[in-house]
Amino acid sequence: MTPSADSLGALVPGPQPDIAGSAVGPLAGVTFAAKDIFDVEGFVTGCGNPDWQKAHGPAKAHAWAVAKLLAAGARLTAKVITDEFAYSLNGQNFHYGTPTNSNAPGRVCGGSSCGSASAVAGGLVDIALGSDTGGSVRVPASFCGLWGLRPTHGAIPLDGVMSLAPSYDTVGWFARDGAMLGRAGAALLPPDRPGPDFKRLLLAEDAWALAWPDVREVLAPEVTRLEQRLAPAERVVVGEPGGGLEAWMLRFRAIQAWEIRRSVGPWVFANKPRLGPEIQERFDWVASFPESEAEAAQKQRPAFTRQLESLLGDDGLLAIPSAPGAAPFANTPDDQLRAWRLQVLSLTAIAGLSGLPQVSIPLGRVESAPVGLSLIAPRGRDRALLAFAQRFAPAAP
């Protein structure tokens, strides 16, 4: 694929890969894109920042996930834009622009896997690799009307992927339908740990309270269908112990900030690359963040994980909105986007802090734009989660 073929603004500038996969693999004939934090042999991994790109040479090997999809027969045809250093949920890159959201014109794709979501929604590729640290697959999936998976933390090796916050970073991916999402999962995911069929449905009341009223309304019939498949929903509060979801979101950010200070932070602080205003503000905040707050949050984190795992048991699924509402418009003022990001993070931090798998399913529209319903499963039950989601919503758009 050449840049001239990109009508969506999703591709990174410069030459594009065209790397054939195995001719006989289960994904033969499938095309895929890689977010520009994944190494592709012979190409510079740009991480959304031109100064970083100039300072680094071509990758010497494919990232693990790229190699796995190629071995399964998929063809890599695109490297796609990311928000700078994968540190945003907006889907707007100061240097390279804002990829098109084909399913919600005029609105952002969400980030940081914005190019990945744009390329799949716009039909450039069948699958796109993204990363999910604070919601960077789940949020764009909801905003763009796609299927997206954040797997169990640690399930997929991060070899050859830029590190942002290692205790949160995961490799995820997008597809236009559940069957294709599952086919990619068959190539990427390890075998599930043994467990019973899902039998219980949990509704996180504090998570649903964060959603717009029309989001709750449009997804209510889907929750009813889930109850018909499983059992009457158990209404739970997941923000306990230790405060509500906003408090846990702040702890999520504290841990993330401290990990960024040890991953890409040292390079950014030493080299002072040109950053977009939003990203510059965020790295300035990281540089001055007190270690004591991060240490306190890290000590409190296991309590949140134990609480959530206790609620789910071995056979439960937790249903939450993938995002509070539809994608913001591309011209939304910065102060509104900052407030929106904190609201979104209050939802996405649930799986982020606990490391549990979460699939986002496109099951509604509000204000003529997509919204997703998410299911969170017990640890290590990623394949079972994908299989259940496909059976539940085989015709989801």
Q: Which of 35, 113, 354, 374 is catalytic?
A: 35
Residue 112 a catalytic site member:
yes
Q: Which of 102, 116, 131, 136 is catalytic?
A: 136
Q: Are 93 and 46 in contact (CB under 8 A)?
A: no
Distance between CA atoms of residues 238 and 229, nearest Å = 23
- The reply to whether 136 belongs to the active site is yes
Choosing from 102, 112, 116, 374, the catalytic residue is 112
Structure tokens at 116: 């990945």
Q: Is 336 exposed, middle or buried (0-12, 13-18, 19+ CB in 10 A)?
A: exposed
35 is catalytic: yes
Picking from 107, 113, 58, 56, the residue whose alpha carbon sits closest to that of residue 84 is 113
- Residues with catalytic function: 35, 112, 136
